[in-house]
Amino acid sequence: MSDTTAPYRLLGVDPGTNILGFAIIEVNGKKLQLLELGVVHLKQFKEQELKLKRIFERIQVIIDVYGPTEMAIEAPFYGKNPQSMLKLGRAQGVAMAAAITKGLEITEYSPKKIKQSVTGNGNAAKEQVAAMLTQTFRIDLSDHYLDATDALAAAVCHYYQSKAFPGGGKRYSGWDAFIKNNPKRVKK
């Protein structure tokens, strides 16, 4: 985990074999700033190997340009088509390999965990996630692919789970444990 006192950058990735979403956010204390949001189009490549090569190259360029120290990536969801799952898993693996070779720490989140962190509802629709991110960053995201906003959601989820976020990175077994670890937050 990055030093939470100095500004740092996070890369969020929503892997895909036709469209890969990515986002870069900067964390400065409790403030989040969106630096870049976009997609990598892969439909023009017919061979899977060329798609994977393009993913690897683009992720490395994004890392070189923006200098994130960590990557949050959405885990593949379980679908009915094993071939689609295999392709998606390869795309995720190549994106992770690109980040690993650049020295980034990587954390994987389930789609449900990302939605829960951003909207409070693990079953939220992609459009609800985008709407919540629009409020969080106070910018219009309606022109962006949902793959890009999903990548942004992965990065925001990672921030919310980190120690930089108040209450993030901490887990309590109940109210007694919370009170014991936070005596100044209890009014008497």
Q: Is 140 annotated in some ligand binding site?
A: no
106 DSSP β-pair partners: 71
Residue tagged active-site, from 14, 57, 105, 176: 14
According to the annotation, is 147 in a ligand binding site?
yes
Answer yes or no: is 74 a known binding residue. Answer: yes
DSSP 99-167: HHHTT-EEEEE-HHHHHHHHHS-TT--HHHHHHHHHHHHTS--TTS-HHHHHHHHHHHHHHHHSTTSTT
Q: Which of 26, 147, 150, 176 is catalytic?
A: 147
74 flagged as catalytic: yes
What is the CA angle 161-17-48, rounded to 5?
Answer: 135
CA 3 to chain centre: 18
Which residue among the candidates 74, 105, 127, 176 is catalytic per the annotation?
74
Q: Which residues are annotated as a binding site?
A: 14, 74, 147
Q: Which residues are annotated as a binding site for Mg(2+)?
A: 14, 74, 147
Question: Which active-site residues does the annotation give?
Answer: 14, 74, 147
